[in-house]
Amino acid sequence: MAMSSPIRRETRRSNITIPATGAITRGAKTGNATSRIEIMATMAKLIDKRSRKSFVFLWWRDMYNLTA
């Protein structure tokens, strides 16, 4: 699928060899700001524009809960 290519590219750059959802969780837990931003940007591209704002809000909220 076309969607898997950008995810694979981002996870490889961050040295994370797990699925996209796991990569988001791992990026949040490790506190690597660069990988978190890259993963968020990649995921935002895959979402419908109408739901992107709410998705980003929920994603950042979950990230801060994991890093707290």
pTM across the whole model: 0.22
The pLDDT of residue 3 is above 60:
no
Q: In this structure, are residues 40 and 64 in contact, taking their beta carbons and an 8 Å threshold?
A: no
Report how far residue 51's alpha carbon sits from residue 56's, in angstroms, rounded to the nearest whole number: 9
Measured in whole angstroms, how far is the alpha carbon of residue 20 from the centre of its chain?
7
What are the DSSP calls for 3-41, one per residue? THHHHHHHHHHTT--S-HHHHHHHHHHHT-HHHHHHHHH
How much is the pLDDT for 18?
A: 43
Q: Over the stretch 10-35, which tens digit does the pLDDT of each residue have?
A: 444 444 444 455 555 554 555 555 56
How much is the pLDDT for 35?
A: 62
How much is the pLDDT for 45?
A: 66
How much is the pLDDT for 15?
A: 47
Question: What dihedral angle (degrees, nearest 10) is formed by the CA atoms of 56, 50, 14, 23?
Answer: 70
Confidence category of residue 1, pLDDT binned at 50, 70, 90: very low
Domain residue ranges in the chain: 4-67
